[in-house]
Amino acid sequence: MVATVGELGWFKEMAAQRGVVLDAQMHPTTRAYSDFLLALTYSGYPAQITAIWALERTYLESWDGARPGAQPYREFVNRWTTDSFRSYVGDLQSCVDRQIEACVGDQAQDGEDAFVWVTHHERGFWDMAMSG
């Protein structure tokens, strides 16, 4: 949670530097992703940790693929391709692996569903962002 709060502050700083208005009406793609993440708070821990890992893994792979990155995006590339971020994503994956191994009932399927939904929403979000 501490890392997430710090990251939100960083996002606000980057938005301000780029003239991005954060209190604008959400794009339907952003709204759908936000609604999914809010609904996820009612899911079990295996689904939640899987979703967090999938989301962070998306950042790692996306920005890693953009290295070294054009100047307007270099700060983003540098933030999400560090060894410490890579280690954090690996730690999350270890948590997911342990949780899935310990699942009972439908929890493993809930984790898989969370993964699929994160990838669905991430693709939509990146498509939206890249299309302007």
pLDDT tens digit string along 73-131? 888 899 889 999 999 999 999 999 999 999 988 999 999 999 999 999 999 999 998 88
pLDDT tens digit string along 20-39? 899 999 999 999 999 999 99
Cβ atoms of 29 and 130 closer than 8 Å: no
Per-residue pLDDT at 2: 64
User: 95: which 2 tokens?
Assistant: 């948590």
Prediction pTM value: 0.89
Instruction: Set out the domains of the chain in order of their start, with CATH numbers.
Output: 27-131 (1.20.910.10)
Cβ atoms of 86 and 25 closer than 8 Å: no
Top pLDDT among 4 and 127 is at 127
Q: At 68, is the pLDDT very low, low, confident or very high (cuts 50, 70, 90)?
A: confident
User: 93: which 2 tokens?
Assistant: 């994956």
Tokens 């290295």, residue located = 67
Residue 49 reports pLDDT greater than 80: yes
CA atoms within 13 A on the CB side of 118: 22
Q: How far is residue 1 from each of residues 42, 69, 84, measured CA to CA in Å?
A: 17, 28, 16
C-alpha–C-alpha distance, residues 86 and 96, integer Å: 15
Cβ atoms of 6 and 95 closer than 8 Å: no
C-alpha–C-alpha distance, residues 62 and 97, integer Å: 22
